[in-house]
Chains A and B, each alone.
Chain A
């Protein structure tokens, strides 16, 4: 993908090793899919670990989960879905050749992404820190958790590592979007050449999908109804 961006220096964005633009576009798209495959296994290793410990320590994971605010998780899900929509619309506007339109949609996507991170860090992580729920930073096991309390820190380990890794991907994504915005502003994209947009879109949607799974796995374990999971 970095390649695509750099090769763009040649006016139509064409790189010498390819036969034609069609081959180049297909290669770029397939390359991103293969990259997403590796991302999937990267998160997959983490999800597998999570699944094993969730099976072993379900009551502890339920206690941990109930300490998270569902409203923030759900709100953030909606924000991310919205950003996926604006991303798709950005590509759409480039496809139909609406001049200048990708810029607006890209900026909207970045703003929504930043909103997600803002909610995550200031409302959730900061709150957890104050409540002594960050392992390694003064985590306090509360007596009212009883026996399963011993493994609540493990849940929070997974929570911070998984959401942190996801947030890192978001930050990288916002960086890519910033580059795309500049390119779009300089009228680089045409209905014949919008590969960088398309490929970055795949990445952005993938990060969205990761969150679609993280939300129920972290926030909704064992149900939120009174006495759920106990």
Chain B
């Protein structure tokens, strides 16, 4: 038993060092995933080799020596049957606990994450930083900082996949999904679409540039200065006439949006809903489904008038109102 564990740990350390067997590991969760991966590889090899060598030994030792040979009968052996039912069950239980706890740990973003928005469409990745910088098929992120991506699709299902970070999540139309990572190594890494999405699925790829924080700041401020997402969102907000009802002091026909983000609000139906990205998107696209208590259902839908990118900018604007408020209170 100890021998097995020992050879397992030797195998693990060798495997982790072998570069050509392993994709680049450049995020905070990559090591943990790889450990599980190599433990599974070890289990696979152990059982495959054990079964194969047993079969091989039997094949040689008990090969048919005479054409009319009649081998002895072996009765069923209950302890043996139970053993090879229970031991795999225990191994599976252990693997399940390990894998699930790791998954839950990996999917919970740290609270202070930088947020970046991603829109997938046939066949490109459209990325927007809160500071206003937009990229296509490129994602620049600072090293050592947790980054949370809020993602949606304009058409079919895509999937945002960065192998070096061991992260992957489907990008769905009509919904927001999110994933987070914290890059640990400066470098350039593949970004793939991993859910088949049509003709140029294989061309829907790009690069992730992990930069030192200083380089990242330089990169953000270089190029033509552009308004931040929240600022663009504010322009859209005014252009669409939202500001005429959603007065900041709450005297308008619609509720004030100051500090509304992250708050729990009561709807007309009596239901309580947290105001998050999904809520705001729903309020823009299908406003009558989220009418707040004490307010009339008079807001028209903006479906068709705004695209997914503008919705994300509006969300950024509403969020900025909340953080301004929080900052003001802090002072």
A residues contacting B by CB (< 8 A) are 146-148, 150
Contact = CB atoms under 8 A, between A and B. Distances in A.
Nearest to A148: B289
Interface residues of B, number: 6
Interface string B284-319: 001111010000010000000000000000000000
B284 to A, nearest CB: 14
Contacts of B287: 147
Contacts of B288: 146-147
11 contacts: A146-B288, A146-B297, A147-B286, A147-B287, A147-B288, A147-B289, A147-B291, A147-B297, A148-B289, A150-B286, A150-B289
B50 to A, nearest CB: 40
B279 to A, nearest CB: 15
Main secondary structure of the interface of A (DSSP, over half): helix
Contacts of A150: 286, 289
Nearest to B269: A59
Given A147-B291, A147-B297, A150-B286, 8 more contacts: A146-B288, A146-B297, A147-B286, A147-B287, A147-B288, A147-B289, A148-B289, A150-B289
Contacts of B286: 147, 150
B283 to A, nearest CB: 11
Contacts of A148: 289
Interface string B250-289: 0000000000000000000000000000000000001111
Interface of B: 286-289, 291, 297
A73 to B, nearest CB: 27
B328 to A, nearest CB: 34
Contacts of B289: 147-148, 150
A228 to B, nearest CB: 15
Nearest to B290: A147
Nearest to A145: B288
User: Could you say which of A146, A147, A148, A150 has the most chain B C-beta atoms within 10 Å of its C-beta?
Assistant: A147
B297 to A, nearest CB: 7
Closest 6 CB pairs of A and B: A147-B288, A147-B289, A146-B288, A146-B297, A150-B286, A147-B297
A148 B291 CA distance: 12
Contacts of B291: 147
B245 to A, nearest CB: 17
Contacts of A146: 288, 297
B287 to A, nearest CB: 8
Nearest to B291: A147
A210 to B, nearest CB: 32
A31 to B, nearest CB: 35
A148 B286 CA distance: 9
A194 B295 CA distance: 68
Contacts of A147: 286-289, 291, 297
User: Could you say which of B286, B287, B289, B291 has the most chain A C-beta atoms within 10 Å of its C-beta?
Assistant: B289
Nearest to A150: B286
A110 B297 CA distance: 52
A45 to B, nearest CB: 21
A146 B269 CA distance: 13
A147 B292 CA distance: 13
A150 B288 CA distance: 10
A148 B297 CA distance: 12
Nearest to A147: B288
Contacts of B297: 146-147
A146 B287 CA distance: 11
A147 B287 CA distance: 8
Nearest to B301: A150
B243 to A, nearest CB: 23
